[in-house]
């Protein structure tokens, strides 16, 4: 028996359902945080029963609704490739450190890939109930409201988000140079701790930009956010303005009026860093 091909819109509806199911389990586990078993996958790389349960529920729903679509979860859950190039990348709990410290800022995030291209994304905040989503060519939305990014024009009024490296994960010196270059030019810098939500905030216009290059982020951290931001009319590139951020894992995302300005700032910090390294040899 063959399965009728689905439209992207049908797939993204199933992804939103799965995100709500996983998110509901996250909210329940957050309410009983002190009782949760916690494992350490590596140095300062934690996974809780909440991550595992959210991923299990998301994968089960997707397998039931979309048997023709492969899934791959951050915590290792997977289903076989059906040979059609479709797969859903899952981050069942983006913002694990926040979650484990009782900080109410985390999300479940899913991205649809067709071959190597991300064509839909969903980021769900289970505590606020906010569902950010996008389908390639159809725009980005918060619930039913279309997103268009920030309309602010002055960089001096901008608030930007970032992710900081920690405990040896990433390049702390690079992150420090970037921070020093950005801080005098903007109104504020925030690091709420969930990259998926921070990028969605750029799409919604709460943040006027987001960047990361010093921190170590993976495909499931960025994929959904990048398509949501792009479909809201924002630009998302590798930090020097070239290349695909999903391939190199550095990212600057911002509305068009700010993107080039951020890229210029980061290019200058890289040049200064290279000169400093050369001088120290």
**Residue 206 exposure: Cα atoms within 13 Å on the Cβ side:** 11
The token pair that represents 254 in the structure block: 């911002």
Is 198 marked within a binding site?
no
d(C-alpha 96, C-alpha 50), whole Å: 9
Is 240 marked within a binding site?
no
DSSP calls for 26-88 = HHHHHHTGGG--EEEEETTEEEEHHHHHHHHHHHHHHHHH-TTSEEEETTS-B----SSSEEE
Pinpoint the alpha helices (H) of the chain: 8-31, 49-65, 96-100, 172-182, 195-204, 219-231, 245-248, 256-280
Residue 279 Cα distances to 23, 163, 226, 271, angstroms: 50, 29, 37, 12
Angle of the 172-182 helix axis to the 256-280 helix axis, nearest 10: 130
Is 74 marked within a binding site?
yes
d(C-alpha 77, C-alpha 156), whole Å: 44
d(C-alpha 106, C-alpha 68), whole Å: 29
User: Which residues sit opposite 209 in a β-bridge?
Assistant: 160
What SS3 state is found at 271? helix
Is 91 marked within a binding site?
yes
d(C-alpha 220, C-alpha 223), whole Å: 6
Is 147 marked within a binding site?
no
Annotated binding site for Mg(2+): 74, 91, 93-94, 221
Annotated binding site: 74, 91, 93-94, 221
């Amino acid at each position: 028996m063959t399965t009728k091909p689905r439209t992207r819109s049908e797939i993204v509806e199933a992804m939103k359902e799965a995100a709500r199911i996983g998110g509901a389990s996250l909210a329940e586990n957050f309410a009983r945080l002190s009782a949760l078993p916690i494992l350490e996958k590596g140095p300062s790389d934690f996974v809780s029963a909440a991550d595992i349960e959210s991923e299990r529920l998301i994968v089960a729903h997707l397998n039931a609704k979309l048997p023709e679509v492969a899934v791959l979860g951050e915590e290792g859950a997977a289903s076989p490739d059906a040979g059609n190039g479709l797969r859903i990348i899952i981050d069942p709990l983006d913002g694990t450190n926040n979650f484990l410290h009782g900080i109410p800022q985390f999300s479940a995030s899913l991205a649809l890939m067709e071959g190597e291209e991300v064509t839909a994304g969903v980021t769900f905040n289970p505590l606020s109930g906010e569902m950010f989503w996008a389908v390639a060519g159809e725009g980005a939305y918060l619930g039913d409201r279309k997103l268009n990014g920030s309309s602010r024009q002055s960089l001096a009024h901008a608030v930007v988000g970032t992710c900081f490296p920690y405990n040896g994960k990433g390049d702390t010196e690079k992150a420090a140079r970037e921070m020093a270059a950005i801080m005098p030019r903007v109104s504020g810098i925030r690091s709420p701790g969930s990259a998926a939500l921070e990028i969605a905030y750029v799409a919604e216009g709460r943040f006027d930009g987001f960047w990361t290059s010093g921190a170590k982020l993976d495909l499931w951290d960025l994929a959904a956010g990048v398509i949501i931001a792009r479909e809201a009319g924002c630009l998302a590139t590798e930090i020097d303005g070239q290349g695909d951020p999903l391939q190199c894992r550095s990212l600057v995302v911002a509305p068009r009026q700010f993107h080039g300005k951020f890229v210029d700032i980061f290019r200058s910090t890289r040049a200064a860093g290279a000169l400093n390294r050369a001088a120290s040899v």
